Amino acid sequence: MAVSTSFAGAKLEALFLKSSSSSSSSRASLSSQAPPQISGKPIRSRKTLIRRGAVRCEVAASDVSLQTDKLSALEQLKTSAADRYTKERSSIVVIGLSVHTTPVEMREKLAIPEAEWPRAIVELCSLNHIEEAAVLSTCNRMEIYVVALSQHRGVKEVTEWMSKTSGIPVSELCEHRFLLYNKDATQHIFEVSAGLDSLVLGEGQILAQVKQVVKVGQGVVGFGRNISGLFKHAITVGKRVRTETNIAAGAVSVSSAAVELALMKLPESSNATAKMLVIGAGKMGKLVIKHLAAKGCTKMVVVNRTEERVAAIGEELKGVEIIYKPLTEMLTCAAESDVVFTSTASETPLFLKEHVKDLPPVSPEVGGVRLFVDISVPRNVGSCVTDIETVRVYNVDDLKEVVAANKEDRLQKAMEAQAIIAEESKQFEAWRDSLETVPTIKKLRAYAERIRVAELEKCLSKMGDDISKKTKRAVEDLSKGIVNRLLHGPMQHLRCDGSDSRTLSETLENMHALNRMFSLETEISVLEQKLRAKVENQK
C-alpha cells in the first residue's frame, strides 16, 4: 500500500492523482474495491480474518504526480477519467487491531483514553476522505469506525493517522490490522456488542463500552448519522442477544478470568491464605475484588487514588475485610503481597524492574513466586519485570488459557446469537440504503419551493401594492397548501422504514424516477459537494 509521508493539512489536489492521461492499470486501481488479501487469497469473512491471522496491506498502484499545480482539485475532478470514483458510494469501514490479531505490546501504544475520543473523531474527520468516525478502545481492542468517501484512500489515511499517533510504522500496523467494509463491518460491531468477539465469550462489559462510545460521541462533529446509527443499533443487538439467548449466563469476565488465572498458578493449598493486593478500584478493579470474595478471599488490600470508592465496595461486600491504602503506599503494599492485580488507567507503568527487584521474597507456601496479574491496557507492569526470577507477570493476552473451556460451553448460544445478528444486520443495511432518498427529498422540495415563490411573486405583483397583509398571507398559505398536497404522494413514496426489501427496492426506483422526471440530478457529484465543504472548512 503506497504511504504518503504527510496527511494533516494535505492539499486537496493529492486526492486526484489519477488524470485522464494515467494508464489503464492506474485507473483500475482507483476504481477497484477488492478486499485485502491473505497469502494471495481474498478475505471473504471476518471468521477467515481471525482464523488465518494478520491482514496485510493491499498493494496500490504507484502514485502519478500532478501535471500542473494550476488546476484546482475540483477542475481536475471534472476532467478526470476516474468517473467511477466520483460516483462511489460512501462506505462504512472498520480498521481494527484486537486481542485476536495483535499482541498487547502494540495495542497499548494504540490505546486512546476515553477523554481523548472526541479529539480523535475530529482529527479523523479532518482527513480528506473521512466523513464520520468513532473510536472503540478497550483492553482487548482498538477499532476505528469511519464513513469513507473512498475505501482505499480512507483506509490509507486512517492507517497513517494511527501510525502518527502511536509511533508504530505503517508497515507494522498493516501486518496486524484487520479491515472490514459495509455489511462485514456492521456484522462485526454487532458481534462485538453481543460479546461474540470478546476474549471471554458472552462477557457483558463490552456492551457498556459500546454505550459509552455513543455517550461520548453525542454532540461531537463527525459522530454523524451513519456511525451513530450503527452504534445505537449495535446496543440494541447486544441487549437482544443477551435477553434471548442467555449467552451471558455463567459467563466469566476479563476480571474473573484474571482471578481464575491467579488461583491456577498458586498452590491449591494457599488459595485461601494468599495475600491479595488490588491496585485500582474502577470498573475492572471492582470486579476483581468481587470475584476474589466469591472465591473465598476474606481479606485484601486495595490501593486507589481516593478512599470513597473503596469504602463503597466494602459496603457492598459484607463479611470481607477491605483495607484501603493510598497510591503513595503502593510499593510497600506490594512488598507485603503474594498476588498483585493491576487495573488502572495509567498511561505509564506503575511497576518497573527497579521497583520490584528488591521486594522481599514471598513465602514458599505460596510457591515462592510473586504474581502480577495485569489486566490494564496500556499495561501497568513493565515487560522488564519478567526478567526477575522470583516474579511471574501475566497480562490480558494470557487469559486465553482460562477461557478456552468456558468458550466451548457456549458455542450453541453463540450460534443462536448469529441468527439475531443476521436479522438485525439486514434491518440496519435497509435503513442505511433508505438514506439515499434524503437528497432527492430535499431537492424535490427545494424545486417545488422555487416554483411556488416565483409564482407567488408574480401573483402578488398583479394584485397591486394596496392589498392587505391578511390577503397576502392568505395567498401565500394557499400556495404552500397546494405544494404540500402535491408533494405528499411523492414524498410518501420516497420514504420507507426498511422493514422489507421489496418496499426498499420500490423506494429506490421511485427516487431514480423522480430524479429523471424533475431533472433533480445536478452536474456536481455528491463527492464534489463534500469536497467543496471540506475546502471551505479548511479555509
Give the Cα separation of 49 and 501 in Å (integer): 29
Do the strands 299-303 and 141-148 form a parallel or antiparallel pair, or are they unpaired?
Answer: unpaired
> Which residues make beta-bridge pairs with 137?
142
How far is residue 166's CA from residue 175's CA, in Å, rounded to a whole number? 15
Omega of the bond leading into 378 within 30 degrees of 0 (cis) = yes
C-alpha neighbours within 13 Å on the C-beta side of residue 483: 19
Q: Cβ neighbours of residue 110 under 8 Å, at least 6 residues apart?
A: 97, 137, 142, 162, 165, 166, 168
Asked whether the CA dihedral 71, 74, 75, 81 is positive or negative, the reply is positive
Stated as kind and residue range, the H or E segment containing 73 is helix 73-79
Query: Is the Cβ–Cβ distance between 49 and 94 less than 8 Å?
Result: no
* CA distance to 72, 379, 524, per residue, from 529 (Å): 14, 45, 7
- Is residue 496 annotated as part of the catalytic site, yes or no? no
Among 399, 363, 433, which Cα is nearest to 255's? 399
Question: With contact defined as beta carbons under 8 Å apart, do 244 and 416 qualify?
Answer: yes
Distance between CA atoms of residues 494 and 511, nearest Å: 6
Q: What pairing do the DSSP bridges indicate for beta strands 141-148 and 130-137?
A: antiparallel
261 three-class SS? helix
Instruction: Assess contact for 420 and 241: CB atoms under 8 A.
Output: yes
Of 57, 125, 139, 297, the active-site residue reads 139
| Amino acid in the structure at residue 51 | R
Question: What strands, in cross-sheet order, belong to the sheet with 178-181?
Answer: 130-137, 141-148, 91-98, 178-181
C-alpha 323, offset from chain centre: 38
Q: Do residues 290 and 314 make contact, with C-beta atoms less than 8 angstroms apart?
A: no
Residue 200 · residue 403 · CB < 8 Å: yes
DSSP per-residue letters across 380-402: SB-GGGGG-TTEEEE-GGGGHHH
Q: According to DSSP H, which parts of 195-250 are helical?
A: 205-217, 225-245
- CA separation for the pair 171, 243 (Å, rounded): 42
Eight-class DSSP state of 61: P
As a whole number of Å, the end-to-end CA separation of the chain is 30
| Residues that are catalytic | 139
